[in-house]
Structure 1
Amino acid sequence: MANKWIEMVTGPLEQKKQYKQDKARMEALPEPYRTAATAMNRYFMYYGGITSGDTLIQMFTDLVDLWERAAVDGTPVQDIIGDDPVDFTETFAKSYQGKEWIDKERARLTKAFDEAIGKEKRS
């Protein structure tokens, strides 16, 4: 009973466990992969807007998987991100885009313009 109440307030405990495991994996990455992964994760916090906890956890897990694989293979960071780290990071994040906070406002904006156009046509 208490777990359900706690999860209602804080979100699923499994997601928190997964995040902590992935965070530990990220911190265990050798340099320069740890720096790259940490930078991308930090950027996601500002760029994101993803509202689904499941989606966020999957994105973070995949981020750590990417840099672990690169470390194992010895792939240079530059070979992964290319010439534009912002474009690479935003493209990575966009592949996980689901419902965002701004979607509600986009719908509201569209509805307002539809109403304005409707009023214009009636005039």
Structure 2
Amino acid sequence: MSGVEKSGFISKVIGPKKRWRAYKARVKELPENSRTAVEAIERYLMHFVPTDEDSNAAMFEDLADLFEQAVADGTPIREVVGEDPVEFVDEFARNYSEGGYVPARARKQLTDDIERAAGAETGRDDQTV
């Protein structure tokens, strides 16, 4: 894929570059465990890419809002995403898109990543999922 094609694809997937960069800067400021959780959710959400660039950008901005507020309130990751991170993200994505096909591997990766992030919060491996 050429640089121009890749740039067009990324722009379609993530919306305007300026909004994407602002979102990524916000995520970078989160504590490590929250950042890990957001990045795992972000990877999973790429399967639900809305065709409307504004909806897509809003989805990621809302994800950052959610975790920034959780950090500010001292809300643990498990209270944000619940016991089933796949169910949480699927429901979150439905607010922005009809959704897409999500392979089982992506579901397992999301669950594993959230387990690690939630375990880092408590200083132990989280075995609740």
* TM-score (norm. length: structure 2): 0.63
Aligned-residue offset at 1:101 = 8.3
Tell me which structure has the larger Cα radius of gyration. Answer: 1
Count residues in correspondence.
Answer: 92
CA distance in 2: counterparts of 1:84 and 1:77, whole angstroms: 12
1:98-113 pair list within 5 angstroms: none
Q: Judge conservation of contact 1:26–1:37 (CA < 8 Å) in 2.
A: yes
| 1:53 to 1:26, Cα distance in 2 relative to 1, 3 A | same
Q: Does residue 92 of the first structure (1) align with residue 92 of the second (2)?
A: yes
Q: Judge conservation of contact 1:26–1:34 (CA < 8 Å) in 2.
A: yes
Opposite residue 69 of structure 1, the aligned amino acid is Q
- What is the aligned partner in structure 2 of residue 77 from structure 1? 77
CA distance in 2: counterparts of 1:81 and 1:17, whole angstroms: 28
| 1:96 to 1:59, Cα distance in 2 relative to 1, 3 A | same
Aligned-residue offset at 1:27 = 1.4
Secondary structure in 1 matching 2:92: helix
Q: Does residue 30 of the first structure (1) align with residue 31 of the second (2)?
A: yes
Opposite residue 76 of structure 2, the aligned amino acid is P
Secondary structure in 1 matching 2:16: helix
| 1:80 to 1:101, Cα distance in 2 relative to 1, 3 A | closer
CA distance in 2: counterparts of 1:17 and 1:52, whole angstroms: 16
- What is the aligned partner in structure 2 of residue 42 from structure 1? 43
- What is the aligned partner in structure 2 of residue 19 from structure 1? 20
Q: Judge conservation of contact 1:26–1:64 (CA < 8 Å) in 2.
A: yes
1:69-120 Cα offsets, whole Å, 9 max, x none, are 111111000011111000001100011116x789xxxxxxxxxxxxxxxxxx
* TM-score (norm. length: structure 1): 0.66
Secondary structure in 2 matching 1:29: coil
Aligned-residue offset at 1:40 = 0.4
Q: Judge conservation of contact 2:23–2:61 (CA < 8 Å) in 1.
A: yes
C-alpha RMSD of the superposition? 2.5
Opposite residue 60 of structure 1, the aligned amino acid is F
